[in-house]
Each structure stands twice: as C-alpha cells, then as structure tokens.
Amino acid sequence: MKSGQIHEAMEILTEAVRYWQTPAVTIVSQREGDPFKVLISCILSLRTQDRTTGPASARLFALADTPEKMVKLLPEDIEKAIYPVGFYRTKSVTILNICRTLLDSYQGKVPDDLDELLKLKGVGRKTANLVLTLGFCKEGICVDTHVHRICNRWGYVLTKTPEETEFALRKKLPRQYWLRINDLLVTYGQNQCTPISPKCSSCPLVDMCDRVGVGKSR
C-alpha cells in the first residue's frame, strides 16, 4: 500500500465495518463513557475473544464499577465474575493492584497521560493507548495483533513487533486516523483480513494491498 492510499483505505474501512460487530472494549467505551471501565475491560480483553470479554466486563461491573468498590472484593469474587477470560486468576490480582494504585496515587481516577498509565502494573502500551483513545478521546495509536499484522500485510510499514509498528505509525499515519485505526483494523482483522487464510477475494482493499506474507487465502 502506498502512503497516499491510506486516506482511501480508511474511508473504505469506515463504511465496511458498519456491517460487522464492534469490538467489545469499544462498546464499553460508547455505552459507559468511563475511562475506568475502559481500562478494566482492556485488561480483561487481553488474549480473550470479544464474545467472552463483553459479558465478563458486564458481570464484573455489576459487582463493582469504581476502584473504591473493586478493592472491597476478594480475588475469588473477581475470578468468578470474569471467568472464562484468559488468565482470569492473574487478571483478578492485576485488577485489584491497579485499583489500589489508582486510589493511593491518583485519587481514584485513571490518569490521562501515557507515561502515567504505563506506571500501572499490568498495563502495557497497547492498553495505555486504548485507554487514551477510547477513554479520553486523546491522541494515541493502539497497536494490537490485528493492527500490527494488517499494516505489515498491506506493506504500509515493515516492522517486527507491535511496539515497532506503533512508533512507525506515529511517524507515518496521518493524525486524523490515530484514534480510529485500532477500531477499524480490529474489526477488519476479525472479519475480513484474518490471521490465517484471509478473505482476499472479497476484500475491498485487495487492489491496494501488497499481501506481504500471505500464502493461502480465500
């Protein structure tokens, strides 16, 4: 994909994703408008499919929807609520630790600064950027496995890790797409540009895509 084609690609994807399921964490942000719930949903979503993340988030927030309420729960209470998300036992401890830190160091509020978010144990660049973009509508580029894979598959960047992709996109991607690229490419990656055997024959971007690394496709 040539640099100048990114505008057309984003326009096409914006239309295409209307017919697919919105990512679970995005739904939480749209419904709740609460950075804390976005943060916790992000933690739950790691290595977990959306069909599990959404209901698990709802069950947990029915028990506790603020850091103050969350720290009153036992790890076992959180585990039961979020099961079967991936690594649910580890995540219950992570959630409690984050909530204690928010209460001790941030007056119970989720910080709206990337560096401060990264100080929270268990929060990496992907989660921190997603909290910024979905929780605060502030500039950030959230690069998960879909964004990393697709941008390299397009030939738009040439990187080896999601972190490298984030910094490459910060240099190359027009700022108007920073907040939207994760939503668009996660939805596109789940439904069209799948990790294995992508649906190239019906892809609206096939003529722009370099198809780097694509062997078998549909």
> Is 126 a known active-site residue?
yes
Torsion angle defined by CA atoms of residues 195, 201, 207 and 209, in that order, rounded to the nearest 10 degrees: 10
For residues 106 and 120, what is the distance between their CA atoms, to the nearest angstrom?
11
| Tokens matching residue 140 | 């950030």
Burial 124-154 (b: 16+ CB within 10 A, else e): ebbbbbbbbbbbbeeebbbbbebbbbbbbbb
Given the structure tokens 């971007």, which residue do they identify? 205
Annotated catalytic residue, options 37, 50, 91, 126: 126
Out of 119, 144, 160, 207, the active site residue is 144
Whether 113 is catalytic: no
Backbone angles phi, psi at 98, to 5 degrees: -65, -45
How far is residue 63's CA from residue 82's CA, in Å, rounded to a whole number? 11
Place of tokens 């941030």: 106
- Write out the catalytic residue numbers: 126, 144
